[in-house]
Chains A and B, each alone.
Chain A
Amino acid sequence: MSEITPDTVRHLASLARILVTDAEVEKLAGELAVIVDSVAKVNQAVSKDVVATSHPIPMANVFREDVVRPSLSQSQALSAAPDSAEGRFRVAAILDEE
């Protein structure tokens, strides 16, 4: 059996920045345990000397000329923001107040 406990789910959800209720944690722990058990068999298929493939068609050094091209204006870039001020995205405080 996998090691997916409710505490694991709480930790993973916090890493993924998703608020979860206790009921969701219980449900997810059960579902993820089943999924992880079924996908864990990839371990049996491979050995140390198999090379990993991260990309189906290998390409290297895909560069373009370093020239300035038209891009979004500041107001276009900000146009879909939930909140903005002085030409910037406005967000809640980044650090907790002491």
Chain B
Amino acid sequence: MSELVYRPASELVALIAKKEVSSVEVTKAFFDRSEKLNPVTNSYLHLNRELALAAANSADEALSRGEVSSPLHGVPIAVKDNLTTTDAPTTSGSKILEGWVPQYDATVVTKLRQGAMPILGKTNLDEFAMGSSTEYSAFGPSKNPWDLDRIPGGSGGGSSSAVSGFLAPVAIGSDTGGSIRFPAAVTGSVGAKPTYGAVSRYGLIALASSLDQIGPVANNVLDTALLQDVISGHDPMDSTSLPNSLGSMAQAVRQADPKGLRVGVVKQLSSDGFQPGVKELFDDTIAKLVAEGVEVVEVDCPSFEYAVAAYYLILPAEASSNLAKFDSVRFGLRVTPEGNPTIERVMAATREAGFGPEVKRRIILGTYALSSGYYDAYYGSAQKVRTLIQQDLNRAFEKVDVLLTPTAPTTAFKIGEKVNDPLAMYLNDIATIPANLAGIPGMSVPNGLAREDGLPSGVQILAPQMQDALMYRVGAIIEKLYLAQWGSPLLTKAPKLEAK
């Protein structure tokens, strides 16, 4: 048997169910590796050994009573540190929440516990999920297992580096503009942003409430689908939660048949601005699908040109309101200036000390976008762009079943390369942002190593609202075509991580 940590979650769950290996053994294997390698990748901000082993033991006991609680019963998982957990600190990558242990669990965390999935620990992220590299985390950047001098994507770079470095079999992410999909693309892993409302946001520390969506992170499409099946479903605690079920994603993956499929290539996301090697791999994905008899047409989404601009007005506007709750009163940091300050001065000193530069930048930008006299020109227009993007997508989906784009314009860049250029950083999400603005599902699947640098790239699949199953079906088709070419998953080509 090959080492447990390299096994897909779908195999681990079967081995655990057959009692060939216990959940405790699997969980221990991931801890042993994580304790050795986390100093290298900085994937986890907090590891939870005792509690996870206790949960694994309960999972094994339940199995011996014949109880199976979820499609990933007994498989351990890493959770992004912007989801609340009552038994572990939750920082959201910020000094303002350092040491805070929440009073309630996020609904997704409750589902993991009920589904007998031991929580290995909490993963690193850009502060309050604002960023695409983890360089804005107050606790240092995570490292890309393919090249430790490079970023693992963000904001969910802790989860992507944990999964692609085999420090966790699966992980939870959140995606506001690409924070699951961009990290998946640059680490050669898989990540999906479900339809808005498919997964409850209760207990997710909000960045931009109309864009945020929790989703699964894994090393292959089936594991991603199994995890979406565990965490999705209606939740009365989230008023934006979809009332209806979207069906089983794992079932859709198992029916990966390209017959009759129509695919659209977005004109605005297939030419300029992409690294040549990334573009070549995307063209190769399309060629592979055409060879399978898939119909491919070009579709025009002219409003996509304005997506990044609209996003960087809507997101800061919503974030500036959401982050007003960090006010030194009920939880988190409090900094009291000298003298006899008023609460207003305490708040300002606390927020000065507790927030990093990108968070301050976005709060102030959002405050500007919402301020009287500018509201219509900025926030109002951005919301209208959102309508136009939805209209573009509706027209496109009349002609095709799904849209494909490169997930990211480049492969992983070097740590430090873009950190002082906010605008360059914002453009990493050029292909992923439209899905958040329109509430549609999107996922990234690896499609090879770019010829310039030998680093992974991903193809993004976008489907209409509620059609997550269709997206997974196409993801599985693409994955299957590449597995036939490569012989083994892309991650088997990654360099082996060595302890410091």
Contacts and interface: CB of A to CB of B under 8 A. Distances in A.
Contact of B240 (A28, A55, A94): A55
Interface in B333-373: 333-334, 336, 340-349, 351-352, 355, 360-361, 363-365, 367-368, 371
A91 B329 CA distance: 7
Given A28-B360, A42-B306, A46-B384, A35 B367 contact: no
A82 B360 CA distance: 22
A16 B320 contact: yes
Interface string B122-142: 000000000000000000000
A51 B387 contact: yes
A45 B385 contact: yes
Contacts of A32: 361, 364-365, 368
Contact of A56 (B352, B385, B439): B439
Interface stretch (B182-190, B217-225, B307-315): B307-315
26 contacts: A15-B371, A16-B351, A16-B367, A28-B361, A31-B361, A36-B365, A45-B303, A45-B384, A45-B388, A46-B381, A46-B388, A50-B387, A50-B388, A53-B383, A53-B390, A54-B210, A55-B210, A56-B437, A57-B242, A80-B331, A81-B329, A82-B332, A89-B329, A92-B343, A93-B341, A94-B343
A37 B360 CA distance: 18
B477 interface: no
A19 B364 contact: no
Which DSSP category, helix, strand, loop or mixed, fits chain B's interface?
Answer: helix
B378 interface: yes
Which DSSP category, helix, strand, loop or mixed, fits chain A's interface?
Answer: loop
B69 interface: no
B331 A81 contact: yes
Interface string A18-60: 1110001000100110111011111101100011111111010
In the A-B complex, the 5 residue pairs with the smallest Cβ-Cβ separation, listed nearest first, are A56-B439, A82-B334, A52-B383, A19-B352, A80-B331
A92 to B, nearest CB: 5
A41 B306 contact: yes
Contacts of B313: 39, 42
A14 B422 CA distance: 22
Contacts of A7: none
Contacts of A18: 348, 351-352, 355, 360, 363-364
Contacts of B334: 82-83
A72 B474 CA distance: 44
B349 A19 contact: yes
B236 A56 contact: no
A67 B388 CA distance: 41
Contacts, number: 180
A17 B348 contact: yes
B312 A16 contact: no
Range class of the B interface residue count: 35 or more
A19 to B, nearest CB: 4
Interface stretch (B13-21, B32-40, B100-108, B399-407): B100-108
Interface in B418-461: 422-423, 426, 436-440
Contacts of B100: 80
Range class of the A interface residue count: 35 or more
B259 interface: no
A9 B361 CA distance: 10
Contacts of B305: 45
A17 B327 contact: yes
B367 A12 contact: yes
A96 interface: yes
A43 B438 contact: no
A77 B102 CA distance: 10
A57 B439 contact: yes
Given A40-B378, A94-B342, A96-B342, A89 B330 contact: yes
Contact of B368 (A4, A31, A52, A56): A4
Interface in B290-323: 303, 305-306, 308-310, 312-313, 320
A39 B437 contact: no
Contacts of B423: 34-35, 38
B239 interface: yes
A35 B344 contact: no
A13 to B, nearest CB: 6
B381 to A, nearest CB: 4
Interface string A56-98: 1101001010000000100011011111000001011111110
Contacts of B236: 64
Given A36-B365, A43-B381, A81-B330, A91 B343 contact: yes
